[in-house]
Amino acid sequence: MNAEIIAVGSELLTPQRLDTNSLFLTDQLNGLGVEVTQKCVVGDHRERLADTVRRAVARSEIVILSGGLGPTEDDLTRDAVGDALDRKLVFHPEIAAQLEERFAQMKRKMAEVNKRQAFILEGAEILPNDRGTAPGQWIEESGVSVLLLPGPPHELKAMFTRQCLPRLARKVPRQVIETLVLRVAGMPESDLDQLIAPVYKKYTNPATTILAAAGDIQVHLRARCATQAAAAQLLAEVAGPIEALLGDRVYSRNGEPLEVVVGDLLKKQRATLAVAESATGGMLGERITSVPGSSQYFVGGFITYTNRMKAEALGVSKSILEQFGAVSKETAEAMALGARRRSGATYALSITGVAGPDSGGESAPVGTTYIGLADAAGCQVIHRQFLGDRTRIRTFAGQWALDLLRRKLTLPGV
């Protein structure tokens, strides 16, 4: 069963606002096994809104509108849905009386415009609103449920949860949606897709979605079954072969980000970590410490943006900096070793590179990055060439650094 969500209001078409009610509604609908197949934001424009409602009703079993039920003249949802479904608006004196009472309780006189909120579409059921003035409406139109809900999130949520959800649950055939999220590091999206498509393409259920960020891919598997057990079994059936293909590139099976995974590994091994950052300027430390409780394993680090800081804070020798340059394997190694020595941490990660937009000359184009990992046994350094703008290159670098450490912590001997 499919649903569409239509958010109404010209303020939602400004550069500052997003419709967030749809996230709540999607979550609730998914919980019933209903997919949201389209979302629209329409301004306070009667014809456009009526047209959008007509299209939605023609192709989906559930259509939910939020907003545009207020008392002012640009609140047009009632009128537009009336146009779309060819239903008249009927004045309900009992609603007007309740509204007046509500205002009286707040020791205010109801403005005449509020009476607009007492108009209900022919044949609609009234959904009382105990948190605001706009009642909701529920219309059944040849098998399609059309819901008119108020825009303010706390009103919408209360009305939907208490009055709409139980009723939709009776309408929707009993089913369960379960999701499994694999997170993968160090692999371009297209390579990953080529590798695992032969597995997931065999299934329409679970549905597979691939989301890619810099050096970080999420594979979402979404199974829809009659029971939780069946959904879990189906997910395992598909995730198993995918995981086998991706191998140790999978770093999390529950959606957790890499900094949490690495933190848990460090805690388990009672190990500590320090960082030495040049190109990322603190981004790696920020990311590690974004995790509550990271003080259990993160001791701190050094942001060595200049050669002088690399020398003084980390003890990188002048000869290394002069001979190989600040962006080099040798400097990355000396930074990681220096950070480990000076912090006393079990592990130290270092990053030096060219984040751009200016390059570091011929030997170091924008994106050139060296990442070092020092431990008691010594230091390893990887070299990568990242593509993108300053933020993306820095994000890549942090991601690869954390993944280098994850591999060290999970795959002894690497």
Tokens of 375: 């431990």
| Nearest CB to a copy of itself, comparing residues 175 and 218 | 218
Taking residues 206 to 235 in sequence order and writing x for each that binds a copy of itself by CB under 8 A, - otherwise, the string is -x-xxxx-------x---------------
> Minimum distance from CB of 123 to a copy of itself (Å)?
27
Q: Which residues inside 313-342 make contact with a copy of itself, applying CB under 8 A?
A: 313, 342
- Report the candidate in 314, 325, 312, 339 with the shortest Cα–Cα distance to residue 405: 339
DSSP-based three-state secondary structure for 284:
helix
390 binds a copy of itself (CB under 8 A): yes
CA dist 229 and 395 (Å) reads 38
The burial of 341, by beta-carbon neighbours within 10 Å (0-12 exposed, 13-18 middle, 19 or more buried), is given as middle
| Nearest CB to a copy of itself, comparing residues 7 and 261 | 7
CA dist 62 and 281 (Å) reads 49
| Nearest CB to a copy of itself, comparing residues 123 and 341 | 341
Candidates 281, 329, 359, 380: give the one binding a copy of itself (CB under 8 A): 281
Q: Round the CA-based radius of gyration of the chain to a whole number and report it.
A: 29
359 binds a copy of itself (CB under 8 A): no
| Nearest CB to a copy of itself, comparing residues 122 and 189 | 189
83 binds a copy of itself (CB under 8 A): no
Candidates 277, 333, 375, 403: give the one binding a copy of itself (CB under 8 A): 277
| Nearest CB to a copy of itself, comparing residues 12 and 147 | 12
- Interface with a copy of itself (CB under 8 A), residue total 110
The distance of Cα 51 from the centroid of its chain, to the nearest Å, equals 31
What DSSP designation does 364 have? Answer: S
CA dist 383 and 385 (Å) reads 7
| Nearest CB to a copy of itself, comparing residues 35 and 79 | 35
> Minimum distance from CB of 111 to a copy of itself (Å)?
4
Stretch that binds a copy of itself, among 121-129, 223-231, 241-249, 292-300 (CB under 8 A): 292-300
CA dist 53 and 56 (Å) reads 5
Stretch that binds a copy of itself, among 11-19, 167-175, 236-244, 263-271 (CB under 8 A): 11-19
- Report the candidate in 27, 8, 21, 28 with the shortest Cα–Cα distance to residue 168: 28
The burial of 359, by beta-carbon neighbours within 10 Å (0-12 exposed, 13-18 middle, 19 or more buried), is given as middle
70 binds a copy of itself (CB under 8 A): yes
Tell me the pairing of strands 89-91 and 62-66: unpaired
**Residue 118 one-letter amino acid:** A
Q: Which residues inside 183-202 make contact with a copy of itself, applying CB under 8 A?
A: 188-191, 193-194, 197, 201
267 binds a copy of itself (CB under 8 A): no
10 binds a copy of itself (CB under 8 A): yes
Tokens of 183: 């997170």
